[in-house]
Chain A
Amino acid sequence: MLNDITIGQYFPGNSVIHRMDSRFKIVLVTVYVVMLFVAQNFWGLGVGCAFMIMVYAASGISFRLILKSLKPVLAIIIFTAVLNLIFVKDEGDPLVAFWVITIYRKGIETSAFMVIRIVFLIVGMSLLTYTTSPIVLTDAIESLFSPLKKIHFPVHELAMMMTIALRFIPTLIEETNKIMMAQKARGAALDTGGLIKRAKAMTPILIPLFINAFKRANELATAMECRCYRGGEGRTKLRVLHATKLDFFAAALTVCVLGIIIINNIVF
């Protein structure tokens, strides 16, 4: 059951989006997020959404996956929609008045606007993790934040930690499974009883898991030392990120879309 968790959610491919420099992808996704918040009306938002739909079409990511990315935030989306629907009022007559609930035209509009904004926010950010492998993403973050090294911010160390975490997540999931099986075989009741009882029942799983994780960390540190690891100073890379024409084209396109949205805001 724990195997069902897919971390990183990377789907390998060779589309133009997959091929883009991951640093550009991170920056452009940020610009896209700004774009969604800058948009003040449906026209502006529509341009932003159309842009994302176009990018998705280019990435070859299936529609099913897009829906899947929205599943975890469904509750938030519904909550936002309902809240706006009920509490946003205008001067006109209510369209619906039922018991304590009154719904105005503006409520429907705001609600729709907010829902579209959240949906496209999530969908846009998911595209980044769908088309970029975690390790490349880590590289990009390390590269983007490298100016912070000047103020002694441990950029390399954080990136290294992220890599190791990604490396060990599947191993630890597998181990958790094994320990759960072993304790179940000793009669541990893991899936019955109230909340407190269940939390208590986790002890026989968590303690071995932590102890093993520390042991692993210790052994890994030795193995890394044996392979001449001395921190980020003077390190080179097997894979070097480099920007191509494609990336500059994508950047130009994104900036244009942002421009259109801003102009739209000013004009209307």
Chain B
Amino acid sequence: MAKDTAPRWDRRMQQRLARGEAAALGELYDRFAALVHSQAHRMLDDEDAADLVTREVFAQVWENPEAYDPKQGSMRSWVARLTHRRSVQRLRHAAASRYETEHGEGAVPDPEELERRVRSATSAARADYIVSSMPVPLREALELAYIHRRDYRQTAADLGVTEDEARRRLRLGLQLLSTASARPLEGSAPPGYGRVR
């Protein structure tokens, strides 16, 4: 949303964190904890692991607030990238240790299979992020059509817009969402999280 990607809020938050303001960390948590936790949960499908990633991400932000570069995008997208990176690490680690448990010490899971899992988890988490960041009119239209199972004419009526507009919103929303499955380059942030370094 425009108001929370406002660069002013981001820069001020960064300064306050750098200054060591505990209250700023609390505010950062209040704003982003649900994002971080649900992204991690979507990636890892495990409550404890998501808790752990949440702790790691906030610790990383708190210890290195200067690592945030406002020119690279909003603080929100930065936090989402950190979350993604931590979750991928944890996913790989968990898969490797589970495989070792099942197949004996030193056994390594099929790297391709692992990459597939990382990719599909990434797409799922990125899609969540995209839906949460898309303009509200698009999100509302998708919600009506997908969750409430309204056809586009009913969607138009519910939203008080023309049928043209309802069709346009559904198509645009899905177009945005479809960028979630774009295959990320190795080691870089996926496009859904803002500009790639």
Note whether A and B form a binding pair. no
Could you list which residues of chain B lie within 8 angstroms of chain A, going by C-beta atoms? none
Could you list which residues of chain A lie within 8 angstroms of chain B, going by C-beta atoms? none
